[in-house]
């Protein structure tokens, strides 16, 4: 097991103030690798360092391409002072993964270059060794070139007992690599591969085959039971019993959501995305969260919580705390608890402070004690 150990208490040499461990396992045409980067005195570096960010030690992954052995090299980079215009970005520690390997331009006479596919997952490791779920990033290497919001700075301070034991931040990067041999141009033209979403096709062309109608306000929205039931166990139960009004009439009456919210909700069920998640207001996201909770669509609920967490401010955090409790939004609740614990005086001035459930108040006070 290759390993590299570098330790230092000198915060002015951040590249050396780290511990790096690597574990590799190899299968046929697939290499799995896990790397651990421990950054000592992370809070001091973040608050008092020169602001240039930190590079991890290089970690090498043995890989075989075109019959030749090749060491693929990677580094992680964390930064604290975002130069992007969005104010929210400055509240986060950003992270990206960079390849340090330069592959030769010429693979050799008669040879065809394989495409190397790299998937990765990066997360903060808690004191007990478990991943902290709210910090998990993942994707393919091409998308990793951009910096991603990794973890909120205030959360690291508020949860330093579990996320920064002994002042050290532990980042784990799991990777999977495989090679994909490109097909010839003629082969690509003869049998093109097309990926498409069945839901998108149904939404676009399948209105005449709809078998249920959602009635909301003054609008009738034709839908398909198979799509609704596959995404929501509430709809599945509704359509499974022959004696229900919805099964007999093929209608679902929705009285507690606006038609715009229902349309956005249906858009997500059919396509996996909607405008509310890409640029919606706080009120729109709260309404969509209510729909996700009502019909038990967990993937949409998590997406709403993530977007709402990005909008937290001193002016709305108390209202969002009430929203989190109302719709059992545990991820959003965790964010508002630690935001309030860091801004308790301002939060208590809110006119809605007394509406926060006592159970959440206890969590806030516990978080405040962690800060002291």
Spans of all domains in the chain? 3-100+114-181, 196-271+283-296, 312-372
Q: What dotted CATH number matches 312-372?
A: 1.25.40
pLDDT score recorded for residue 83: 53
pLDDT score recorded for residue 308: 92
Q: To which CATH superfamily is domain 196-271+283-296 assigned? A: Potassium Channel Kv1.1; Chain A (3.30.710.10)
pLDDT score recorded for residue 185: 37
Give CA–CA dist 354/350, Å, rounded.
Answer: 9
pLDDT score recorded for residue 32: 80
pLDDT score recorded for residue 186: 34
Give CA–CA dist 38/124, Å, rounded.
Answer: 10
pLDDT score recorded for residue 38: 93
Name 207's Cβ contacts closer than 8 Å, sequence gap at least 6. 222
pTM of structure: 0.55
Q: Judge whether 182 and 111 are in contact, CB under 8 Å.
A: no
Q: What dotted CATH number matches 3-100+114-181?
A: 2.60.210.10
Mean pLDDT by 10 residues, the chain (372 residues): 34 40 50 88 76 83 69 84 54 81 54 62 85 65 55 77 87 77 38 40 66 92 90 92 89 94 93 87 95 93 90 92 92 87 87 91 84 64
Question: Looking at the DSSP assignment, which residues form a beta bridge with residue 173?
Answer: 35, 122
CA distance to 34, 69, 78, 128, 134, per residue, from 150 (Å): 18, 33, 9, 20, 9
Domains 3-100+114-181 and 312-372 share a fold: no
pLDDT score recorded for residue 187: 35
pLDDT score recorded for residue 369: 79
């Amino acid at each position: 097991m290759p390993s590299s150990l570098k330790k230092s208490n000198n915060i002015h040499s951040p590249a050396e103030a780290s511990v790096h461990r690597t574990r590799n396992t190899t299968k046929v045409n697939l290499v799995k690798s896990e790397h651990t980067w421990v950054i000592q005195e992370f809070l001091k570096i973040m608050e008092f360092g020169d602001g240039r960010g930190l590079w991890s030690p290089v970690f090498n992954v043995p890989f075989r391409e075109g019959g030749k052995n090749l060491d693929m090299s990677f580094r992680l980079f964390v930064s604290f002072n975002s130069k992007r215009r969005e104010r929210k970005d400055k509240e986060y520690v950003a992270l990206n993964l960079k390849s340090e390997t330069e592959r030769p331009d010429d693979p050799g006479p008669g040879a065809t270059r394989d495409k190397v596919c790299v998937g990765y997952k990066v997360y903060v490791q808690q004191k007990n060794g478990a991943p902290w779920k709210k910090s998990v990033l993942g994707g393919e290497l091409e998308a990793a070139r951009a910096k991603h919001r990794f973890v909120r700075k205030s959360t690291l301070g508020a949860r330093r007992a579990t996320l920064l034991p002994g002042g050290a931040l532990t980042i784990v990067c799991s990777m999977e690599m495989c090679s994909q041999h490109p097909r010839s141009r003629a082969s690509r033209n003869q049998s093109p591969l097309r990926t498409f979403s069945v839901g998108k096709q149904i939404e676009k062309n399948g209105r005449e085959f709809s078998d249920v109608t959602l009635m909301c306000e003054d609008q009738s929205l034709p839908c398909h039971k198979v799509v609704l039931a596959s995404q929501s166990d509430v709809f599945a139960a509704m359509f499974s019993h022959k004696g229900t009004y919805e099964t007999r009439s093929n209608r679902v009456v929705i009285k507690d959501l606006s038609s715009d919210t229902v349309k956005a909700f249906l858009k997500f069920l059919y396509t996996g995305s909607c405008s509310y998640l890409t640029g919606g207001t706080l009120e729109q996201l709260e309404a969509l969260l209510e729909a996700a909770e009502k019909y038990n669509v967990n993937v949409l609920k998590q997406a709403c919580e993530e977007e709402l967490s990005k909008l937290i401010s001193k002016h709305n955090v108390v209202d969002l705390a009430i929203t989190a409790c109302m719709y059992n939004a545990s991820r959003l609740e965790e964010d508002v608890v630690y935001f309030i614990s860091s801004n308790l005086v301002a939060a208590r001035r809110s006119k809605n402070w007394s509406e926060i459930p006592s159970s959440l108040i206890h969590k806030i006070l516990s978080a405040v004690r962690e800060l002291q």
